[in-house]
Chains A and B, each alone.
Chain A
Amino acid sequence: MRLIEFTRRQFIKAGMIATGGLLMGLKATNKAYAAIKSLADYMKDRLKGIYKHDREMEIRCSQDNPMIKYAYKKFFGHPMSDLSEKLLHTEYQDRSAIVKKLEQEGIFSRKAFDSLKIGYPFEG
């Protein structure tokens, strides 16, 4: 006795369901593709908003900002003065030791880091 037995009608029915599923699947894939495609458009919308606001601003350059002029006149003196070096400038620290440690432990691979693909999925 055979386990699976198809009549002609059942075979056609199964075929139609499979085709339907395939078409639905295609539609969903298209949809996903369209969603990824439109990411860059949304990002561009955000950027456009910024440049639009910039054009509408009364003052366009940092050096024309009256409160910046006031701050330098009243307090900081001039850019890179001793006071601004103290409050507005900083130093950085070498954090590469952790990378070396993780490389020895096999958690970080310099080769994988260097062969990372340049570019992002939203670029298509």
Chain B
Amino acid sequence: MRVCEGVQYQGIVPSSKVTDPADLFFVQVDKSKCIECGTCSEYCPTTAIRPSNGDDGPREVVHPGLCVACGQCLTHCPAGAIYETVCYVDEIFAAIDDPNKYTVAVPAPAIRYGLSECFGYPPGTCTYGKMVTALRRLGFDKVWDNEFTADLTIMEEGTELLKRVTGELERPLPQFTSCCPAWVKYCETFYPDLIPHISSCKSPIGMAGGAGKVYGAKEAGIDASRMYLVSIMPCIAKKFEGLRPEITGIDATITTRELAYMLKSKGIDLKDCHEDKADPLMGTSSGAATIFAATGGVMEAALRFAVWKLYGEKKRVIDFKAVRGLKGIKEATVRLPHTLKTPHGKIRELRVAVASGLKYAKVLCDQVRAGKSPYHFIEVMACPGGCVCGGGEPILPGVREAMERALKRWYGSLKKRLQYYESNKLLNA
């Protein structure tokens, strides 16, 4: 198995003819490493990861149909026992070397905040310019930005929301966001009756696949049949989404960790890269797109658009601080103009909610199912904290320490362990 940033990869490359990616495992437990602490089960929103026989024993993902591939178990396992099964790294290296393929990199908003940690920057450092240079040095023919399609998502999803509110579109309220593939699979599997509530918009990377190979290829003069589009995501579930038959144009999906591995294996250090910009055609973006990486970000971006659409240039609101932060469920209201006609004239204010983590989304889903939801627009992100804390991001320093401690417990002498604790004390202070 290959190890990328402390996480193991089995390296299965599913063929593009897979009929249903829901039959595939995306994460699995190495039973020989499992210390049976149960942390994974506490993070799992679907009971998919649990002891294989009865109440005790090593954990495993019991069935791929139950797992939404959010990867929260993997990023919180203190023993580093959970590994990813699907890995496109070799295929991407081959595509970069293939002169007949035109390789395009599309990095998600959260990559520029996560990749920095793999190269020794403190958490939260934005390395947009350096990341673009690193991708070019890796050999990609073109670097686009998923933030451009995040802006495109807001234009489409915001418009859809207002059309639902005004009754122009006969679809039910509340509208759910559709950016998170783990959430979409969760809803399809456990709340199929709520599917009409999900926005019909593809996720930003879905749009990059659809628009990139038609609009992007046409405008940039690239032969679409030669184009090899790589989606770089902070997410394991995006590998599932990339294989969905409804989503076209995505040839490979890798996580932040795998990108860091690819850069390091080619000897590219982010710290040596100069500042650069993505190709403007599908690489120009706004602040509304960059906050997609955080919980509440899609909501805030949509509200920036909705307020502008409803009130025009004069009354512009940028910051919606009520939807920011790590709280499980966040709420906000936006007053609608008196002139806006809604069916039956009932909606006077737009009530929105944000779920940070699928366990909190369940509360909101149960409300909608019971017909008691007070909201009109709900954002759901499967990972607590949003994409930047996603299943494909570098392991958080706190968990990484625990993983290393678990290793040291077996080999380290007492003296070494004491030294380790002391140095850790300084780090944590």
Binding site for B on A (CB under 8 A): 27-28, 31-32, 34-36, 38-40, 42-55, 57, 59-68, 71-72, 74-76, 79-80, 84, 87-96, 98-99, 102, 107-109, 112-113, 116-123
Task: Look across to chain A and name the residue whose beta carbon is closest to the beta carbon of B409.
Answer: A28
Contacts of B202 in A (CB 8 A): 88-90
Task: Look across to chain A and name the residue whose beta carbon is closest to the beta carbon of B145.
Answer: A67
Contacts of A123 in B (CB 8 A): 326, 328
Task: Look across to chain B and name the residue whose beta carbon is closest to the beta carbon of A109.
Answer: B47
* Given A87-B210, A90-B206, A120-B359: A49 in contact with B124 (beta carbons within 8 A): yes
B402→A35 contact, CB < 8 A = yes
Shortest A20–chain B CB gap in Å is 11
A68→B318 contact, CB < 8 A = no
A-B contact pairs, 5 of them (CB 8 A): A47-B295, A47-B386, A48-B124, A61-B308, A75-B219
A42→B396 contact, CB < 8 A = yes
Among B192, B309, B398, max chain A CB count under 10 A is at B398
Contacts of B58 in A (CB 8 A): none
Shortest A46–chain B CB gap in Å is 5
* 12 additional contacts (CB under 8 A) given A62-B305, A92-B198: A27-B421, A34-B428, A35-B401, A42-B123, A47-B325, A50-B291, A53-B113, A62-B301, A67-B282, A79-B159, A94-B195, A119-B359
Contacts of B301 in A (CB 8 A): 61-62
A46→B42 contact, CB < 8 A = no
The size bracket of the interface on B is 35 or more
State A102–B428 Cα separation when bound (angstroms): 45
B152→A68 contact, CB < 8 A = yes
Is B257 among interface residues, defined by CB-CB distance under 8 A?
A: no
Contacts of B281 in A (CB 8 A): 67
B219→A120 contact, CB < 8 A = no
State A112–B123 Cα separation when bound (angstroms): 36
* Given A80-B160, A80-B163, A107-B63: A57 in contact with B189 (beta carbons within 8 A): no
Shortest A41–chain B CB gap in Å is 8
Is B45 among interface residues, defined by CB-CB distance under 8 A?
A: yes
* Given A45-B123, A61-B288, A80-B159: A50 in contact with B190 (beta carbons within 8 A): no
A120→B402 contact, CB < 8 A = no
Task: Look across to chain B and name the residue whose beta carbon is closest to the beta carbon of A89.
Answer: B200
Contacts of A89 in B (CB 8 A): 156, 200-202
Binding site for A on B (CB under 8 A): 22, 39, 42-43, 45-47, 62-63, 65-66, 76, 109, 112-114, 122-126, 128, 148, 150-156, 158-160, 163, 178, 184-185, 187-190, 192, 195, 198, 200-202, 206-207, 210-211, 214-215, 218-219, 246-247, 280-291, 293-295, 297, 301, 304-305, 308-309, 316, 318, 324-326, 328, 357, 359-360, 362-363, 384-386, 388-389, 396-399, 401-402, 421, 424, 428
A87→B189 contact, CB < 8 A = no
B219→A74 contact, CB < 8 A = yes
* Given A45-B122, A47-B325: A54 in contact with B290 (beta carbons within 8 A): yes
State A37–B202 Cα separation when bound (angstroms): 36
Shortest A57–chain B CB gap in Å is 4
A120→B63 contact, CB < 8 A = no
B76→A53 contact, CB < 8 A = no
Task: Look across to chain A and name the residue whose beta carbon is closest to the beta carbon of B291.
Answer: A54
State A83–B288 Cα separation when bound (angstroms): 24
* Given A60-B288, A90-B202: A46 in contact with B398 (beta carbons within 8 A): no
B362→A118 contact, CB < 8 A = yes
Contacts of B155 in A (CB 8 A): 62-63, 68, 72, 79
B22→A95 contact, CB < 8 A = yes
Contacts of B293 in A (CB 8 A): 50
B359→A38 contact, CB < 8 A = no
Contacts of A57 in B (CB 8 A): 286-287, 290
Shortest B168–chain A CB gap in Å is 10
The 8 closest A-B pairs by CB, nearest first: A49-B124, A98-B65, A57-B287, A79-B159, A62-B151, A62-B154, A67-B284, A54-B287
Contacts of B318 in A (CB 8 A): 60-61
B192→A94 contact, CB < 8 A = yes
A94→B188 contact, CB < 8 A = yes
* Given A61-B304, A62-B289: A116 in contact with B126 (beta carbons within 8 A): no
